[in-house]
Amino acid sequence: MTVSSVSRALSTSSVATSFAPYASSLGVSTSKLTKSLLASIVTLILMGEGVSFAYAAQPDAAKLAAGVEQKVIDWRRDLHQHPELSNREFRTSKIIEKHLKSLGLEVQTGIAHTGVVAILKGGKLKGGKLGPLIALRADMDALPVTEVVDLPFASKATDTYRGQTVGVMHACGHDTHVAMLMGVAENLVKVKDSLAGDVMFIFQPAEEGAPDGEEGGAELMLKQGLFAKRKPDQVFGMHVTSSMPSGMIGVRSGPAMASEDSFTIKVKGRQTHGSRPWNGVDPIVAAAQIITNVQTIVSRQVDITKAPAVVSFGAVNGGIRSNIIPDEVELIGTIRTFDQPMRADIKVRLAEIAELSAKTLGATATTEIHQGYPVVVNNPELVANMRPALASVVGDKMLIEPGLITGAEDFSFYALESPGMFFFLGVTPKGTDPETAASNHSPAFYVDESALKIGVEAMTKVALTTLKAQ
């Protein structure tokens, strides 16, 4: 029973007529006494129903976001100036931990090396029943990229990556993800009594991939028991992108981002002098045949009307002199798909083509597949339920359904465990064409910070909508 329904039931002419004698004896108007008694009756009824007045009106996500906007910008700038590579996010995790503890949250650290997880306990449903648990995730790691953007808080950091000294930059916007989720956490703590359920905040390391020889990211967090005690009923993630104008939100139902697998093909021949190729087996020519023949997987062998696919070579390593045919050539590449059976089929075809192409030239080829991230699949029902909430933040025209994205995200591991929704926030400033803006992972990647308030509001709104009092 709600306030409005009780008021409608009691606000009748017959009720007013019944109160008339009492109003006359007290020397007040009938309407004034009626209103006073109605208010008292409504209060008593709702108290009897066990309804909390905190649930009467949903908190204003826009006001909450505006209240933490400057904090979010300050956090983002600090994190941007001090980026850290995957599994090395020590300073970042300390900042997150300190903030979450200051909010009075139950905090766990050290999961998947540097991950930080906090639980916010909200209200309960009628009868004291436990409400749902939702998870909100932000990734923390930076990239081995040297920043070229002229900012007062530009990164000057360096680190060692694959044995080389490299610049380090938040070239994918993970600094904004951390800052926004810190703001969302602060907002939801303020209104926790209005939440009919609990929230898990996941600050995840190594989304860009763990260093060679290490495990990391979402997969390791789950392996170490992230969802073991209690699995979330829904999980949400957000990512900034230069491909949309600032403040635009994009969310796609079903497959949204590609799976990612990398591969290494080692082509072995027999070394000989470049002037006498007939005395050896040339692995360079064999590698060239493999590269050419592999192109037919997507163009001729898989049904791309079902789902798109990409097979790309990113490196060819072999030989050192112009007049020496080497023993071996190494090929490195990536596979992107949106369909699990197609993903498995391409891996088989790749290995077969490599082996047979090399064999025809007297060489051998061995293929090693490095299992990467699954397809990011957004739960259709969850997306349908959340679209109105997102539209209420940015308006219908600024909420779009983007095309399939061949980039990959390890948020996909969470979405395999619980219904998930991963959406995008545009950060390309007004006056810059998103088509020509520096892309994520570019040393020139730039974030319009006015979008951060919108991101905080959107994720806050998603949480409030999902955990709306029943």
CA 81 from chain centre, in angstroms, equals: 22
Q: How far apart are CA 83 and CA 76, in angstroms?
A: 10
Query: Using an 8 Å Cβ cutoff, are 135 and 202 in contact?
Result: yes
Task: Give the separation between CA 397 and CA 218, rounded to whole angstroms.
Answer: 33
Tell me which amino acid residue 330 is. Answer: E
Q: In what order do the strands lie in the sheet with 198-204?
A: 106-111, 115-120, 198-204, 133-139, 234-245, 420-428, 249-250, 399-400
Closest CA relative to residue 262, chosen from 193, 313, 228, 215? 313
Tokens, residue 346: 């391409």
Provide the pairing of β-strand 420-428 with 249-250.
Answer: antiparallel
Report the relative pairing of strands 420-428 and 376-378 from DSSP bridges. Answer: unpaired
What are the φ/ψ torsions at residue 120 (nearest 5 degrees)? -105, 120
**DSSP label of 297:** I
Pair of tokens at residue 233: 């009923």
Contact partners, residue 412, CB within 8 Å, separation at least 6? 218, 257, 259, 373, 374, 375, 376, 377
Residues labelled as active-site residues: 373, 449
Q: Which residues of 67-97 are buried (b: 16+ CB within 10 A; e: fewer)?
A: bbbeebbebbbebbbbbbbbbbbeebbebbb
Exposed, middle or buried by CB within 10 Å (0-12, 13-18, 19+), for 438?
middle
Residue 46: in which H helix or E strand, if any?
helix 30-49
Cα distance between residue 79 and residue 113, in whole Å = 19
